[in-house]
């Protein structure tokens, strides 16, 4: 198949860890490469956010990235990109004048608008599939007035969900949210995100650390990721007389040389100071993905306790490295992390529960090793990008054949 991916803000070529560069970038890059390895041809359309970018870039064998001019050629926060979607759609349609794709897969709601525009402009019957990555309804529920999404999202996102040919959700929780949003259940398929199992593996070097046990938090530094909960858990442990655990925080817009350049990183450093655990917290800034496995392997556990999480690739990366995950029971983590088998589930926003889970893992190395081993097995059986690409290609073929969408219920949560 000739596949067009549309990813307006999240380029597969971007550096990861900044405010707007995380899982969606990884997803688009890895899914595209894996589809290409299966023999398909993939073109990824993304907005030009730097005047120096070449129009077309070969990103991987069989994967080309096309930078479409849509609005100013500089970084613009993703929530401010809506006015440029018609221009993005028109640019994509122009590119299709040569060779039309068989199928379009849009990522994030705004890309869905651009993709539907492009198909309309082409006047051809090209099916559009949509992966939302995050839903405005969920974001508004958790972030309230702090949600910077444009108001139009409230009606345009459901409109995209109803007008595309199929929606590909990444986890079972998202299916419920989509149905609540008014998306027809029959149009929804499930294909999870995956993990780079060649990079993230248990064997390989681990970063040196001191005598303290180590927990790690990895991801974009935004409040909803709940990094503060991990710091508060350290404070709870200290209160209980345990100062033998350190917390490594990876991510944010600051580089390794100046992690505190990130405002959220500064907020975390201040909090650690206030709670008197600053000497147990190491803020590392943005780390290239290739360097993450060394850090993950050095940790007794990875803590992923967001308020909500559309999918969450970091827990899979930890599992693939054989590291237990302490996970809030929200969103994609309900599917990926099996409580008591590959990690420990805790309620969201509950530092005491995180502290308790840390002790269970740190004080029982045999159990920790077993959780890690099962995590590795689960990640390899269910979440390789190869498998995700096969499921996704099946969904594309189902739509092309006008057949019922495929449901890969990766979500049964029980057996490996």
275 lines the binding site for ligand UDP (CB under 6 A): no
17 lines the binding site for ligand UDP (CB under 6 A): yes
Name the one range near ligand UDP by CB under 6 A: 39-47, 313-321, 323-331, 384-392: 313-321
Sole binder of ligand UDP in the list 12, 23, 112, 293 (CB under 6 A): 23
Which residues does residue 64 pair with via DSSP β-bridges, in sequence order? 43, 58
Please measure the distance between the N-terminal and C-terminal CA atoms of the chain and give it in whole angstroms: 31
230 lines the binding site for ligand UDP (CB under 6 A): no
Sole binder of ligand UDP in the list 95, 174, 264, 317 (CB under 6 A): 317
Nearby residues of 237 by Cβ (< 8 Å), 6 or more positions away? 243, 245, 355, 358, 359
Secondary structure (3-state) at 71: coil
Binders of ligand UDP among residues 276 to 295 (CB under 6 A) are 286-287, 289, 292
CB atoms within 10 A of CB 17: 26
396 lines the binding site for ligand UDP (CB under 6 A): no
Cα separation, 96 vs 387, in Å, equals: 29
Tell me how far, at minimum, the Cβ of 111 lies from ligand UDP, in Å: 15
Closest by CA to 325, choosing from 309, 347, 298, 305, is 305
Q: Give the phi and the psi of residue 210 in degrees, each rounded to 5.
A: -80, -150
Secondary structure (3-state) at 402: coil
Sole binder of ligand UDP in the list 3, 5, 6, 16 (CB under 6 A): 16
330 lines the binding site for ligand UDP (CB under 6 A): no
219 lines the binding site for ligand UDP (CB under 6 A): yes
Secondary structure (3-state) at 171: coil
28 lines the binding site for ligand UDP (CB under 6 A): no
Structure tokens at 192: 């999870």
Which residues does residue 215 pair with via DSSP β-bridges, in sequence order? 247, 301
Cα separation, 358 vs 230, in Å, equals: 10
x/- binding map, residues 233-272, to ligand UDP, per CB under 6 A?
-----------------xx---------------------
Tell me how far, at minimum, the Cβ of 156 lies from ligand UDP, in Å: 21
322 lines the binding site for ligand UDP (CB under 6 A): no
Interface contacts to ligand UDP, rule CB under 6 A = 16-17, 22-24, 26, 218-220, 250-251, 286-287, 289, 292, 311-314, 317
């Amino acid at each position: 198949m000739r596949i067009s991916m549309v990813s307006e803000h999240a380029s597969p070529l971007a550096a990861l860890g900044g405010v707007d560069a995380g899982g969606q970038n990884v997803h688009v890059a890895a899914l595209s490469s894996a589809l290409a390895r299966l023999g398909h041809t993939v073109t990824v359309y993304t907005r030009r956010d730097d005047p120096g970018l070449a129009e077309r870039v070969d990103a991987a064998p069989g994967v080309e990235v096309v930078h479409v001019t849509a609005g100013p050629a500089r970084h613009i926060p993703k929530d401010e990109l809506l006015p440029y979607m018609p221009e993005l759609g028109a640019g994509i349609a122009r590119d299709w004048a040569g060779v039309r794709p068989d199928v379009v897969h849009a990522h994030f709601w705004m890309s869905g608008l651009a993709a539907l525009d492009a198909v309309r402009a082409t006047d051809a019957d090209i099916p559009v599939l949509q992966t939302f990555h995050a839903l405005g309804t969920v974001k508004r529920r958790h972030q309230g007035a702090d949600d910077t999404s444009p108001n139009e999202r409230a009606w345009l996102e459901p409109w995209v969900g109803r007008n595309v040919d199929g929606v590909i959700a990444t986890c079972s929780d998202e299916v419920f949210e989509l149905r609540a949003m008014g998306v027809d259940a029959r149009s929804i398929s499930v294909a999870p995100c995956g993990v780079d199992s060649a990079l993230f593996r248990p064997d390989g070097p681990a970063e040196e650390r001191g005598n303290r046990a180590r927990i790690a938090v990895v991801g974009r530094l935004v409040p909803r990721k709940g990094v503060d909960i991990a710091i508060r858990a350290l404070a709870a442990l200290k209160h209980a007389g345990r100062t033998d655990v350190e917390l490594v925080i990876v991510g944010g817009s600051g580089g390794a040389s100046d992690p505190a350049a990130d405002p959220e990183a500064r907020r975390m450093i201040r909090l650690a100071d206030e709670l008197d655990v600053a000497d147990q917290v190491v803020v590392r800034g943005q780390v290239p993905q290739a360097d993450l496995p060394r850090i993950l392997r050095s940790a007794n556990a990875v803590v992923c306790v967001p308020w909500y999480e559309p999918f969450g690739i970091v827990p899979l990366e930890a599992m693939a490295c054989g590291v237990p995950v302490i996970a809030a029971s929200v969103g994609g983590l309900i599917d990926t992390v099996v409580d008591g088998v590959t990690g420990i589930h805790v309620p969201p926003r509950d530092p005491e529960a995180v502290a308790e889970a840390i002790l269970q893992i740190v004080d029982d190395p045999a159990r920790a090793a077993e959780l890690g081993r099962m995590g590795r097995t689960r990640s390899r059986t269910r979440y390789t990008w190869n498998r995700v690409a096969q499921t996704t290609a099946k969904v594309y073929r189902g739509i092309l054949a006008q057949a019922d969408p495929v449901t890969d219920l990766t979500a049964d949560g029980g057996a490996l």
